[in-house]
Amino acid sequence: MLLRLRDTGGKALYAVACPTAHFSAIKSARSAQLVDKILKGTKPADIPVEQPTKFELVVNGKTAKTLRITIPGEILLHEGIQSNK
């Protein structure tokens, strides 16, 4: 999804990294698991909060160049950065 947004003109995106193209399916499955716990009697307050541990930055190099924005090389070389120069 992030790459699609980048390729359609998004400048830069910072979001939870997901190794699969089926991110919405994963979110839906996780949501279903939480609803199942609640319907089986678990109090919502007893369900631990989950936070992502890995994020990725997607940079639209073409748009940055058009807008005359220079992306520092250190950022582009960092692991987890994707750019379409």
pLDDT tens digits, residue range 45-61? Answer: 999 988 877 777 777 77
Neighbours of 58 (CB within 10 A): 22
Coil, strand or helix: which one is 57?
Answer: strand
Q: Encode pLDDT of 9-43 as tens digits.
A: 666 666 666 655 556 677 778 889 999 999 999 99
> Is the pTM of the predicted complex or chain greater than 0.75?
no
DSSP-assigned letter for residue 47? S
User: How many domains, the chain?
Assistant: 1
Domain range for residue 75?
2-83
Query: What 3-state class would DSSP assign to 25?
Result: helix
